[in-house]
Chain A
Amino acid sequence: MIRQTGYFLHRALRNMRHSPVLSLAAIFTVGVALALLAFFAIAVLNVQRLTASWAADLAIVAYLEQPPDGATLNRWVSEIRAYPEVAEVTYVSREEAHQRFRQRLGHDAELLDGLGAEVLPASLEIRLHPERRQETAVVVERLSRNRAFGELHYAREWLERFEAFLLLLRTVGAALGGFLVMAALVIVANTIKLTLYARQDELEAMTMVGATALFIKLPYLLEGALQGLIGGALALLVSFTVYQIILRESLGNLLLLTGIDTIHFLPPAWQALVVAVGTLIGLVGSLLALRKFVRFCQ
C-alpha cells in the first residue's frame, strides 16, 4: 500500500515537473481564487465581531423627566430587573452623564464650561440578555407605560440594518466565492486536460500494456489534489502577508474609530478549510478532466 502510494506520488510529481507552466497556472488560479475568498472571509468575520461587540453595548436608555428620590429609584430598578428579558439596569445620574459627555468631547470638553450638570437628564440604562435582544420592542412598550420616563432611546432598528448589511456581505461573499471556485475548477480541469492531451501517447501505451483505469487516473488525481493543496497554501500565505502588512496596521488604525481594536486573521479551522477547499478543487477538477479522457483511451 505504502509502496503503491509512493509510486503514484512519484509519478504525480514527475508529471508536474514535466509540465511546469501548466502546473504553475493551475496552482496560481486556485491561489488567486482562494486568496480573494480568504479576504472576503476576513471581512465578514471582522464585521461580525464588530456587530457582536456593538450589540453587547446596546442598551435601552430611559431618560427621566426629574431625578427620582432613592426609594422611587430602587422601586423602578427592582421592577425592571424583574423583567425576564433584562440582564442589567444602571442608573446614570445627571452628574455622571455630564462627566461622560465631557470625556467623550475630549479636547473640546471646554465647550461644557459654564454649563452645569442640570442641562443633561438622568437616565436608566437597561441591557437585555443577548439571546432576548429581539424582544427590545416588548420591553420598550412596557417601559413606556411609566409616565416618569421621558424619551426612550434604543438602536434596534439601526442594529437590524447593520445585520441586514452583514447578511448581504455574506451573500455576496458566497456568490463571489461560488463563482471563483467554479472558475478555478474549470481552469484546473482544463489544465489537467491539456496535460492529458500532451501525454496521449503515454496514456495509450499504458492502456496497451494492461493498466487499469484507476492506475492511469490516480497520479492525475494526485497531481490535481497536490496543485489544489499548494494553491490553497499559497492563498493562505498571500492573505496572511497582506493581512500583516496592510490590514492589521493601516486598516486597523482606521477602524479604531468604529470600536474595533484589532483586525483578526482567519481562525485555524478556517485556515484548514481554505487548504481543504483548494485540495478539493484540484481533485474535482482532475476528476472532471479524466472522466471522458480515460474512457476514450480504454
Chain B
Amino acid sequence: MASLIENGDNPGMIQLFNVGKTYSREQAALADINLQIEKGEFVYLTGPSGAGKSTLLKLICCAERPSRGQILMDGRNITRLGTRYIPYLRRNLGIVFQDFKLLNRRTVFENVAFPLEVQGRRRIEIGKKVYQCLQQVGLEHRLHHYPLQLSGGEQQRVAVARALVGDPLVLLADEPTGNLDPDVTLDIMEQFKAANARGTTIIMATHDRGLIWQFPRRVITLEGGRLVGDHVP
C-alpha cells in the first residue's frame, strides 16, 4: 500500500488514507479518515467541539503522530517522518492559532521575522520580506509595537503575517477568527483569500457557519472523530 501511496499519479497537496488517532481506549479522536486536498484549495474543516478538527490539523503539521493510516504531503509520506526532519516540513507550513501564540517579549517585526530567522535567511532579506508582509495585513506602522500593545484583531493579523511570511505551501488555521469581532473576521478572511489566490493551500478549522456561508468553499465535516460530510456549497 505504501508504494501505491507514494507513487500516486496525481498526488494532491494533502492525502489521508485510513487515518486514525486514539488517546484513550474508550473514544477515538479520529477514525478512518480518507481525504484528499488539492494544491491551491481552500478547505473548511468544520464540526462541533471535540469533533477532531484540531487533532487533524496537529497530525498534518506532525505535532502528533497518527495511531494508524498514512498521511502524504505534496506526495511525500509524513506519517513516520523522523523527528529531525519535522522542522524542515514545518517550514513549508504556516500555522495560525485561535489564541495567536505570539511572543509577547518581541516586537511585531521580530514576531513576523521569526520564521525567516529560523530558516537562516539574511537580515536584509528578512527586513524586506517582513515589511512587505506587514504591509499586506496593514500593520506596517505598528512594527515596533509589542503584541500586548495591540488589539485582538491586530494580534491575529500579526499571526497571519507570521504564518505567511515564509510563502508556505499550506496554511493551517485552527479557529483563527474564534475570538474576533465580525469586522476583524472579514479582514482576516480577506488575508486568507489573498494568500490562497497566490497559490497557498488553506485548511481552516471553524465552526462559524455564517463565515462558511459568506465565503463559500469546500467544507469537510467531522463528528465524533469521523468524516461525515465533504461538499462544496
Contact = CB atoms under 8 A, between A and B. Distances in A.
Interface string B111-132: 0001101111001000000000
A209 B118 contact: yes
Interface stretch (B7-15, B20-28, B79-87): B79-87
Given A4-B120, A209-B115, A202 B103 contact: yes
Q: Looking at A4, A204, A208, which has the most chain B CB atoms within 10 Å of its CB?
A: A208
B170 to A, nearest CB: 13
Contacts, number: 52
B72 to A, nearest CB: 19
Interface residues of B, number: 26
Interface in A199-215: 201-202, 204-213, 215
By Cβ-Cβ distance, the 7 closest A-B pairs, closest first, are A210-B91, A210-B90, A209-B115, A211-B118, A210-B87, A212-B87, A208-B95
A153 interface: no
Given A201-B101, A205-B101, A205-B103, A212 B84 contact: yes
B162 interface: yes
Contact of A18 (B87, B102, B105, B123): B105
Interface string B159-182: 000100010000000000000000
B61 interface: yes
How would you classify the secondary structure of chain A's contact residues: helix, strand, loop or mixed?
Answer: helix
Contacts of B213: none
A208 B103 contact: no
Q: Looking at B61, B87, B95, which has the most chain A CB atoms within 10 Å of its CB?
A: B87
Contact of B103 (A201, A212, A215, A298): A201
A170 to B, nearest CB: 45
Contacts of B114: 205-206, 209
B90 to A, nearest CB: 4
Interface string B50-74: 0000000000010100000000000
B86 A298 contact: yes
